[in-house]
Structure 1
Amino acid sequence: MTPTEVAPAAERSTPFAPGEAPRLRLGVADYLTLGNALCGFLAVWALATAQAAHMAGGAAGALPKSAMATAVGLMMVAAALDVLDGRVARKLGGSGMGAELDNLADVISFGFAPAFFFVVWGTIAGGAGVLLGGSVLPVVAGGAVLLAVIVRLARFSCQAPDSNYFTGLPCPFGAMAVVTIVLLDPPVLAGVAAVLLVAWLMVSRMEYPKPRGKKAYVVLGMLATGVAFIAAWGLGLPAGEALIYLMSALVLLTILSLPFYVIATRRSPAPAGQLVEHPVDRHAERPSE
């Protein structure tokens, strides 16, 4: 769901004549991308500040819900901006820096931020009892997430675009999966195993459908709902815990079921008389979707 994938480099930047240098001034879509990166940075800052206060005060147990909710909410806002900037670039045009800015922003918001979130949780939840001494396993799992995001983005930059499917779990979905695991607060070793599975899904060859057209608005609606749920949980509202478990179940169910949906729809025969379009050809004819 990164804009580099939703809108390939050719769409993410303004067309140029042969031999013409790309426009290197920031466009509207680029400012949305920078907002994505800023949200990722602020999520890390909120977590680091909360962890420092937690340790300085000698408090036991997890970080305050308000701090965790702030970080998760910021990552969800980053994901929403990640959807929007590609759509804006296709409608208003983008700069020659658009695709590169997308990748850099995604590494911060969907690689480093969720990895750091997991490490903070794993260090506090596991303490000295974690195998290999305290925080080693959470750091390994967090590092795997960060590296998986980097490899995934680099691999996509080298591939011909497919207008209908992502190869591997999209980075924002991977980040939300890591966040979900933390919010469910499993035993540390189970959490490490689950996060390593998420990292593998991001670099795997499994296919996920792209949120084209109206589906993009469905994704934005889901993100807005998730922000509302996490805010209710962070504020300690009575239904907050139930809403978090509901959101977590929906995220995990979506991530696990979509590859099977793709397999089922690809195997189903096309209706009689209907031509099956090649994904790249269809993409070239309807670049605005």
Structure 2
Amino acid sequence: MTTFWLITAIVLLMLALERITVIGVTRNPRGRAWVRRFPLLHPNAISLMRIPMGLISIWLAYRGNWPGAILWFAFWMITDLSDGTIARNCSLMTESGKWLDPLSDKCMYFPPLIYFSVGSTISTPINPWLVGTFLIIDTLGQASRLISQKKAANSFGKAKTALTTILLSAIALNQIDPFWLITPPFVNALACACVILAFLSCYCKVIPDIWYANSFTLANFLCGIAAIILAWQHKFILSLVLIFLGQFFDLFDGRMARKYGSTKRGPVFDDLADATSFGLAVGCIIFFCLANYEELVPPWAALTLAVFFVACLIYRLYRFLHPTKDMPGGIFQGLPSPAGAMLAGSAVLIARNLEHPYFGLGAAAVVLLTSVLMISSVPYRHFARSIWPCIPRGAKLLLCILMLVLTLIAITHKIYRSSFIWLCLVSTVIYTVAGVDRRKPEDIAAQDQLANCCDDGSGSDSTANAGNQRP
């Protein structure tokens, strides 16, 4: 394990040095002028140099030099950050660079993906069908740039590249020092996530902008349907994982609606998806988990509590479209439904794992309190409009990747599912307490203006409602 962590530390050090150096140089006028004088430091030149480097890393791995292969691959993948920063800060962005940069990325990770799926010496190979599907979708995404106006990489493409890099690095490091976390199910789950991100990246390039929001609403709705089915099969943790994923789709549909607009019925569709994922699915978890505590929470009481929670959540969604009280921009009236869903769902699952009747009674009290908070007039900060937009772009991507990896760990490693539930509970409790808005009206107005400036794009007041509840 010493070699595993040593190489990981070297890669992280390389990344830190690259960020410090490139950002420091390109933010200085003299540094920018110096970069412009050297054609080899231009973004397109870096992208061209990166094209054959994936094959070289595989050649090193084939010869058994896995540390060299990992460091070589990591160095050139880090340059993907360098060329983007140089292009933006030095005003060297070109139309050709918008398709050349993602093409060079594919030339970097396509060879390792193929080798890690068919190589005879790979200890944790990737399913060849997943690799084949990924290659086809990613190639179609690259080809779509020839006919689409959207040539630059979108957020899903960037996340796909980052997650694919993590996947390949994990497999390669496992060749040096086997790591208990890197198992075939975890590797294939990571590969499956890469396929989904590749599809979303390609999908967003070819559909009209106005369909973005409803597409993510549909994904949230499908997560809710699957979560209900899993809850009826008593697979409660996997059900909560899908509800958790539905929150990310719910986050993105609101952002897409504010940036690109939405269809006339977009808010209604969003409410339907939220009622399914955060209402009915969580209601099923509440009933089946609390019904186990027949001594203190009889089945009829568990059913009543579950129905009460769903009713409060549906009213919460209705009130968002028909508010009973004027709230400042970026402020919710009552606890947002995704936060309520995670708070109630994680509480009853933890109580179920602890198995003591009094924990079931405590979970029932949490569900009741959550229901009341959702229909209350307590002001809560809008996560998607007041908090998320002002997080640095790189930190957003890192946070999304981290949460996705933790979710995949919970799916593929049963021993960590309880930790995942605790993480959901603690983070939601923090928001429930710290998310209450205690600012003065003038501070709220200033914060809302700042959020609109920090966001990638903001629509009119009418389109802002197209994305409904956000945690």
TM-score, normalising length: structure 2: 0.44
Cα distance in structure 2, aligned partners of 1:94 and 1:77:
22
| Aligned residue number for residue 173 of structure 2 | none
| Aligned residue number for residue 252 of structure 1 | 429
- Which moves more between the two structures, 207-216 or 149-158? 207-216
| Aligned residue number for residue 371 of structure 2 | 199
| Residue aligned with 1:166, SS | strand
TM-score, normalising length: structure 1: 0.69
Contact (CA 8 Å) 1:230, 1:244: kept in 2 or not?
Answer: no
| Aligned residue number for residue 243 of structure 2 | 75
| Aligned residue number for residue 146 of structure 1 | 310
Aligned residues: 234
Cα distance in structure 2, aligned partners of 1:220 and 1:123:
40
Contact (CA 8 Å) 1:229, 1:247: kept in 2 or not?
Answer: no
| Aligned residue number for residue 106 of structure 1 | 274
Report sequence identity in percent.
Answer: 24
Larger gyration radius, structure 1 or structure 2:
2
The 5 A counterparts of 1:65-214 are 67-124=235-292, 126=293, 128-131=294-297, 134-159=298-323, 162-185=328-351, 187-210=359-382, 211-212=384-385
Cα distance in structure 1, aligned partners of 2:424 and 2:344:
13
Q: Deviations over 1:126-146 (max 9, x none)?
A: 1x4235xx3122212211110
| Residue aligned with 1:27, SS | helix
Q: CA deviation at 1:115?
A: 1.0
Cα distance in structure 2, aligned partners of 1:69 and 1:278:
37
Cα distance in structure 1, aligned partners of 2:306 and 2:295:
18
| Aligned residue number for residue 220 of structure 2 | 36
- Which moves more between the two structures, 76-85 or 161-170? 161-170
Cα distance in structure 2, aligned partners of 1:278 and 1:70:
37
Q: CA deviation at 1:208?
A: 0.8
Cα distance in structure 1, aligned partners of 2:396 and 2:341:
15
Q: CA deviation at 1:248?
A: 2.2
| Residue aligned with 2:332, SS | strand
Computed over aligned residues only, the root mean square deviation of the Cα atoms, in angstroms, reads: 3.3
Selected match of 1:266 from 435, 440, 449: 440
Q: CA deviation at 1:184?
A: 1.8
Q: CA 1:169–1:192 in structure 2 vs 1: closer, same or farther (change >3 Å)?
A: same
| Aligned residue number for residue 13 of structure 1 | none
Q: CA deviation at 1:215?
A: 1.0
| Residue aligned with 2:380, SS | strand
Cα distance in structure 2, aligned partners of 1:244 and 1:105:
23
Cα distance in structure 2, aligned partners of 1:115 and 1:223:
27
Selected match of 1:46 from 230, 251, 255: 230
Cα distance in structure 1, aligned partners of 2:396 and 2:230:
25
